[in-house]
Amino acid sequence: MAPSIRLSPAARSLFDEPLAIAVRGLGPRQQVTLRTSLRDETGQLFQASAYYQAGDDGELDLARCPALPGGSFSGLEPMGLLWALQPQKPFWRLVKRDVQSPFLLQLEVFEGHGERPGRLLAQAQHERAFLRDGVRRVPVREGRIRATLFLPPGEDTFPGIIDIHGLGGGLFEHRASLLANHGFATLALAYYQFEDLPQKPNKLHLEYFEEAVNYMLQHPQVKGPGVGLLGFSKGGEVSLAMAAFLKNIMAVASLNGSAVVLAIPLSYKDKTIPALTLYEHKAKVINSKILDYSDVTDDPFQAPGNQSLIPLDKAEAQLLFIVGQDDHIIKNEYYATEVCKLLQAQGKENFQILSYPGTGHCIDPPFFPLYPIGSHPVFHKHAVLGGELRAYSKAQVHAWSQIQAFFKKHL
């Protein structure tokens, strides 16, 4: 019997779903190397590999067999070959622009262990998709809004969520599309550097985001009376500000979003919150190419920095702060803790912090590769974003399930 790879689901799974991997037909206790490869939409290659030994019966099930030391990871990690994928090009991030097409995952089994793989014994392909069958993708160009709405299958009404990305501009749909698979009507909202939106805004006006809230609440398939907000980085900060100033916000999950206005001031009607000053000269040089910007601001909880605090005491929404303890872009664990102390002192109980060790600035849905060093969103130089492979992979899975449970409860 020739070796073969067995996958479950067999041909296609959602990107945030587990994939069961097994190899049949090996020799008793045979040593093999398993390798996964995936190319992004620009053709850049991501790979991971691990060393294994088959059982006495020639079976190798990644749910039961630990990886041996020497590969991309070791230990019992059934999904290691997916979460350990790393770019061959340094500082490259896995991004999904077109959620209507899947990523194609290649799996290979080679004889033996070592740097240079032996003979190829088996191979398989698997699609990692972003849209479940029946989920509808609807481009939205209403008034000023530039967005994409994802609707779960069926004619029912669904809890509505607005997904807001971080600095960098453009329209990112991967998180919104995956959330729609779980039963949420999700609007991926662009707010600059996309189509006719401002290229380089010197201020963000919450009226634009209010328009998106009203669009969602008027949609026949969005269940009211309010919406949820899921924001990452600057998008998390915007989401928290929306909860402080706008009506009909029921729940906010902020992924390393600051409770302090950074980089671009925010305004609503006649009120402007100035951005906390970032001092580039305070960056620490890690090596000739990489900088650490974790200490480049004044303390926002002391004057004059406190003028940049978002007045979250005015928010009636439930607030979920999801923070990486190893975030080197914003001291989010400190910011979230201090803000929640202020809320507690005012008798508020509408907040919760999920704090993850070994997790940096980027917290993506499950199985996106770790992105520990990348371009700084303001200074555009290579910066430490933080994070450690195994801890981050666990944080992704846990945070994603908590986000869904949070929105199911409060929407």
Give catalytic residue positions.
233, 327, 361
Spell out the residues 6+ positions from residue 33 whose beta carbon is closer than 8 angstroms to its own: 49, 50, 51, 52, 71, 109, 110, 111, 112, 113, 114, 117, 118
What is the three-class DSSP state of 403? helix
Rounded distance between C-alpha atoms, residue 49 and residue 133, angstroms:
31
- Cβ–Cβ contacts within 10 Å for residue 298, how many? 15
Q: Nearest Cα to 365, choosing from 16, 48, 92?
A: 16
Residue 89 burial by CB count (10 A; 0-12/13-18/19+): exposed, middle or buried?
exposed
Residue 410 burial by CB count (10 A; 0-12/13-18/19+): exposed, middle or buried?
middle
Hey, what's the torsion of the CAs at 236, 242, 247, 248, to 10 degrees?
A: -20
Q: Nearest Cα to 173, choosing from 132, 145, 218, 139?
A: 139
Phi-psi map region of 358: left, alpha, beta (phi>0 left; psi -120 to 50 alpha): left
